[in-house]
Amino acid sequence: MTTKGKKTPTKTSQKSASEGSSSESSQSESESSSEEDDDDEEEEKEEPTPEPKRKKTPLATKPVLKQPKQTKEMSLLDLDDFSSPSAPMVTSGNIVSSSLVTDLEGLSLTDTSLAPTVISPMFSSVRTFELLHRMTGEGLSVEYIFSRQPFTPDHRMVSVQMQISNNSESDVRNIHINEPKLQSGMRIKEFKEIESLPAGDSTTVIMGIDFCDSTQAANFQLCTHTRQFYVSIQPPVGELMEPMFMSENEFKREQGKLTGMNEITEKLTLSGKYNSDHVIVQRVISAANMNRVPCGADKEYRFAAKTVTSGTLVLVTLTMKDASPALLTINSEKMVIATMLAKDIVQALTQ
C-alpha cells in the first residue's frame, strides 16, 4: 500500500513536469507566435517603403496641371483675335496709290513720313554732260551723268555713270583712267579697264569721285592703247548731296539749330508755267538731289539733303505768297554750298 502511495507523486510530478513542459512549449509557441506577429507588424510597418514612388506621382501629374495654363495661352494667341485688324491693313495698302501719296505727303503732321517720298529722277530726265567729243577722241566719245545712286564701294563718293562709244571703224583697246590730278582731299575710284570695244559698240561704266563737298573739277587722263585724252568732271552743287528722310517736326528742330550765319534767303518770282505743286517740286529736285519733307502749311515746300562727303545737313524752304514774291530759305553749315544752291534753285524756278 505504501508503495502505491509513493508512486502517485511521481505521476503527479511527471504530470506537472509535462504540464510545465507543455506550458513552456505553449509559452514558446506563444512567444514564437508573438514574435511572428511582431515580425508581421514590423513588416507591415516597413511596407510603406514604396512611398518614394508615391512622391514621384505628383511630378508626373505636374504637366497635367500645366495643361490648363497652356490652353489659356493658346486661347490668348488665337488667330481669330488677329485676323480682324490685319484685314484693314491689307486693304488700305491696296487703296492708297502712289499718286495719292504725292498729294497727301504735304498734309502729314506726324513724325513719320510717307514711304514713297523720294522723287527719283529718270535716266532720260537727268542732265547729260559731254566728257570727250568724238572728233577730239578720233571716233571715241564719252558722255556722263550723275546717277544719284549710292556708290557701293565708298558711300562718301559721288557716283558718275559714263557711256563710252566707239564711232570709229576699228576696235579700241585698253580704255582706262590714268594720272588723276585732284585738289587736296579729293579721290577717284576708277572703273575697270575695258580690254576691247568693237567698232560701233557702246558700253556703260561707273566710277566714284570724292569731291570733298566742293565744286572743284576732277582732272584725269582717259587713255587707250594709242592715245591719252585730258578730261575733267565738274559737278553742279546739287549733285554733291543725297536725299535725307525727315519728318516735319525733325525738319523744324534741325532748322532751329541752323539760323543766323547758317541761313540764307532769296526772293523770287516764279515763272507762270510753274503753277502746280508737282511742277514746283520737280523743278527743285531737278536742281538738287533732295527729298521732299511733309509739310502741313499751305503753299510751303520743304526739302532736305545731306552732303555726300561730310554728311552736313542742307535744308530748303520755299514759301509762296499771294501777290508778292516767293521766299527761298536755305539753312546749312556749308554756306558756300547754300549760296550756290540758292542760285541754282532760283534759276530753275524762274526760267
Question: pLDDT tens, 224-259?
Answer: 999 999 999 999 999 999 999 999 999 999 999 999
Task: Say what percent of the chain tops pLDDT 70.
Answer: 64
Options 3.90.1150.10, 2.60.120.10, 3.20.20.140, 2.60.40.1230; CATH for 128-235 is 2.60.40.1230
Confidence band for 350, pLDDT divided at 50, 70 and 90: very high
Contact 182, 222 (CB under 8 A): no
Name residue 50's beta-bridge partners.
none
**Residue holding cell 495654363?**
69
* The three three-digit cell numbers of residue 150, written as one number: 549710292
Provide the pLDDT for residue 59: 46
Distance between CA 325 and CA 229 in Å, rounded? 47
Confidence band for 31, pLDDT divided at 50, 70 and 90: very low
Provide the pLDDT for residue 16: 43
Looking at per-residue confidence, does 130 or 47 come out higher?
130
Question: pLDDT tens, 260-272?
Answer: 999 999 999 988 8
* The three three-digit cell numbers of residue 239, written as one number: 549733285
Question: pLDDT tens, 281-302?
Answer: 999 999 999 999 998 888 899 9
Provide the pLDDT for residue 220: 96
Mean pLDDT value across residues 147-176: 96
Name residue 241's beta-bridge partners.
307
CA distances from residue 268 to 237, 299, 302, 318, 324 in whole angstroms, order as listed: 20, 15, 16, 10, 9
* The three three-digit cell numbers of residue 107, written as one number: 498734309
Provide the pLDDT for residue 273: 85
Is it the case that residue 60 has pLDDT exceeding 70? no
Provide the pLDDT for residue 279: 92
Is it the case that residue 152 has pLDDT exceeding 60? yes
Is it the case that residue 100 has pLDDT exceeding 80? no
Nearest to 338 by CA among 258, 278, 279, 283: 258
Distance between CA 139 and CA 132 in Å, rounded? 10
Provide the pLDDT for residue 57: 44
User: What mean pLDDT is reported for the chain?
Assistant: 76
DSSP-derived 3-state class of residue 287: helix
Distance between CA 199 and CA 192 in Å, rounded? 20
Mean pLDDT value across residues 137-155: 95
Buried b (16+ CB within 10 A) or exposed e, 136-172: ebeebbbbbbbbbeebeeeebbbbbbbebbbbbeeeb
Question: pLDDT tens, 319-342?
Answer: 998 878 999 999 999 999 999 999
Rounded to 5°, angle at Cα 137 from 134 and 142: 65
Mean pLDDT value across residues 68-90: 42
Q: How many CB atoms lie within 10 A of CB 251?
A: 22
Domain positions in the chain are: 128-235, 240-350
DSSP-derived 3-state class of residue 229: strand
Contact 223, 176 (CB under 8 A): yes
Distance of CA 2 to the CA centre of its chain: 134
**Helix or strand holding residue 172 (H, E):** strand 172-181
Name residue 242's beta-bridge partners.
306
Is it the case that residue 75 has pLDDT exceeding 50? no
Nearest to 244 by CA among 184, 159, 174, 303: 303
Is it the case that residue 28 has pLDDT exceeding 70? no
pTM for the model:
0.65
Q: Which amino acid is at 144?
A: Y
Rounded to 5°, angle at Cα 27 from 23 and 30: 135
Distance between CA 315 and CA 335 in Å, rounded? 12
Provide the pLDDT for residue 321: 84
Mean pLDDT value across residues 303-324: 94
Provide the pLDDT for residue 68: 46
Distance between CA 135 and CA 231 in Å, rounded? 14
240-350 topology per CATH? TATA-Binding Protein (3.30.310)
Mean pLDDT value across residues 99-127: 44
Provide the pLDDT for residue 322: 80
